[in-house]
Amino acid sequence: MNDFPRTLKLLTIWLLLGTLVFLGMQVLLHERQRPRLTIHDGQVTLQRSPDGHFHWPGTVDGREVDFLVDTGATTTALPGALAAQLGLRREATVRSQTAGGTVMAWQGRADVALAGGLRFDGLTVTVIDRMDGPPLLGMDVLRRLRLVQDGATLQASLP
């Protein structure tokens, strides 16, 4: 019976250490997923994220989002769930070519703002109901910017 308190103490210590390691890893993972950008003299510099992509924080109709910069996307695309939360109105039904093939989608309008002060009011966006993942920042926005990529850095500014 004397070993029980000692065993309980060791178990408590190991549980506390395990919890600290777990919390430390959660903070590290959260920090690694945070978009990395700097804004200087009207120029936004994005650092490639650990997932290999460039992410640009912004808003859609005031809702904070983390856009995935997608030069292969013709238009800015939103997941259907986000569009529903925002109450976007369907304006047209369209076919959209995705990496997974052709899907039916719809278009609506939204106010898009990007970190760095860039705004695109009333932007026509494509809504893909079954889309998983973050909204895609497409060429409809990116072509309006001067983009320069140098390795793991993407610089964007107005021309």
Q: Are residues 56 and 5 in the same domain?
A: no
Give the domain extent around 27: 1-33
Q: Are residues 143 and 88 in the same domain?
A: yes
Find residue 156's DSSP bridge partners.
44, 147
pLDDT digits (tens, 9 = 90+) for 39-63: 888 889 999 988 889 999 999 999 9
User: Distances in Å between the alpha carbon of 72 and those of 7, 89, 101, 140, 150?
Assistant: 58, 25, 14, 11, 18
The whole model's pTM is what?
0.76
What burial class does residue 18 get, using C-beta atoms within 10 Å of its C-beta: 0-12 exposed, 13-18 middle, 19+ buried? Answer: exposed
Q: Are residues 66 and 3 in the same domain?
A: no
What's the CATH number where 92 sits?
2.40.70.10
Among 78-82, 141-145, 154-158, which stretch is predicted with the lowest mean pLDDT?
154-158
The tally of domains found in the chain comes to 2
Q: Are residues 18 and 96 in the same domain?
A: no
